[in-house]
């Protein structure tokens, strides 16, 4: 009875911890998105400078990551040659800077709810780019599923009350660059046995982003900011916003590390619906029935895609375990045969 009780307590504790990790990630992701919208939207805080905001985030994250690694020794830096950094980390940093710049820019033109609907295209972009770079095999049923997701998003876009073409282009560009970055991480880092946690990732990637963003910032936003003499840097607003962005990176690592990538995908769906509800009820964005119908179709396609990936992962794991079991059985058989041969030789002597 005591063993059963302790086992139940352990399971309950594990479930509660999983839900806690999910809640932390949803809260931080939710906060960063709404906070960025608040800062960039002309009807709210009215500071429409997405490159500058992204640079503030990257400066803060790079500095904090440097302090955690070099001063507090909280995490060991990954051993990395100059060649590996230039040809692997730098391209990923360039893609990340473009993704963040465009996604933050989209908040100026589009509602939070519609941006979340457009983000449903991420699996489509990742799969398409994966096929292009031969990291994914082309499958007709998967492509049909991708088309169904795209069709759902197209319906949601058709029903958008405040459709802005430039905003849609920016968000689709952000999705494309982010999908390319995810595929490049597999090709340039994961395939070489290099894994970066959020702190080491920011330590290496954030300075690259900062350098790449400096170029457009000098020509696009710096001249305007220079003329805006009324602007005063609000350390509370931008400090807390940057800290939330850094904490979100840690929450992603915590959620995936302590649960699974599938849990994060499911939590992402919950977060998207919460954001849509928040956007409609609090920010007073217009969400039409056609919006919801189109996003619902896209959501079903994404859910099916995640389910297919999970089944493929389970099949791969089962195959791996079966292979390991066969190898272990073969090794034991060889040991027994070897022992038998040894005993036979001893008896003959």
pLDDT in tens, 228-281: 766 678 999 999 999 999 999 888 877 766 776 667 777 888 888 899 999 999
Asked if the model's pLDDT at residue 347 lies above 70, the reply is no
Please give the model's pTM, rounded to 2 decimal places: 0.86
Which of 91, 104, 94 minimizes the C-alpha distance to 170?
104
Is the torsion defined by CA of 88, 242, 108, 227 positive or negative? negative
| Residue 209 and residue 96 in contact, taking contact as beta carbons nearer than 8 Å | yes
Which of 270, 287, 268 minimizes the C-alpha distance to 279?
287
Q: CA-based angle 278:281:282, to the nearest 5?
A: 70
Return the exposure string of 139-160: e unless at least 16 CB atoms fall within 10 Å of the residue's CB, then b.
eeebeebbebbbebbebbbebb
3-state secondary structure of 60: helix
Other Cβ atoms within 10 Å of 79 Cβ, number: 7
| Domain map (residue ranges) of the chain | 52-225+286-324
Task: Report the C-alpha gap between 316 and 134 in whole angstroms.
Answer: 19
Residue 95 confidence class, pLDDT cut points 50, 70, 90: very high
| Residue 275 and residue 117 in contact, taking contact as beta carbons nearer than 8 Å | no
């Amino acid at each position: 009875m005591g063993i059963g009780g302790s086992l139940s307590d352990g399971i309950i504790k594990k479930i509660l911890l999983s839900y806690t990790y999910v809640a932390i990630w949803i809260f931080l992701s939710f906060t960063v998105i709404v906070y960025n919208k608040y800062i960039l939207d002309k009807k709210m805080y009215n500071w429409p400078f997405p490159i500058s905001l992204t640079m503030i985030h990257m400066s803060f994250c790079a500095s904090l990551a440097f302090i955690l690694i070099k001063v507090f020794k909280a995490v060991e830096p990954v051993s990395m040659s100059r060649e590996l950094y230039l040809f692997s980390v730098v391209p990923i940093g360039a893609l990340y800077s473009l993704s963040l710049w465009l996604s933050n820019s989209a908040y100026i033109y589009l509602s939070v709810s519609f941006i979340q609907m457009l983000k449903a295209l991420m699996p489509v972009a990742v799969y398409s780019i994966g096929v292009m770079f031969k990291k994914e095999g082309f499958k007709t049923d998967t492509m049909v599923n991708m088309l169904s997701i795209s069709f759902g998003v197209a319906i949601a876009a058709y029903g958008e009350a405040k459709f802005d073409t430039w905003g849609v282009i920016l968000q689709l560009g952000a999705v494309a660059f982010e999908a390319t970055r995810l595929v490049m991480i597999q090709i340039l880092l994961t395939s070489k046995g290099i894994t970066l946690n959020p702190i080491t990732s920011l330590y290496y990637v954030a300075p690259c982003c900062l350098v790449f963003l400096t170029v457009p910032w000098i020509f696009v936003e710096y001249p305007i900011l220079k003329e805006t003499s009324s602007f005063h840097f609000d350390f509370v607003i931008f400090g807390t916003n940057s800290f939330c962005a850094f904490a979100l990176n840690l929450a992603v690592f915590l959620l995936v590390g302590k649960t699974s990538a599938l849990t994060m995908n499911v939590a992402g769906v919950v977060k998207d619906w919460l954001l849509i509800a928040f956007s409609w009820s609090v920010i007073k964005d217009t969400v039409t029935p056609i919006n919801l119908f189109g996003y619902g179709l896209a959501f079903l396609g994404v859910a099916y895609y995640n389910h297919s990936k999970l089944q493929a992962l389970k099949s791969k794991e089962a195959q791996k375990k079966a292979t390991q079991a066969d190898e272990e059985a073969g090794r034991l058989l060889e040991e027994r045969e070897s022992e038998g041969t040894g005993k036979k030789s001893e008896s003959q002597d």
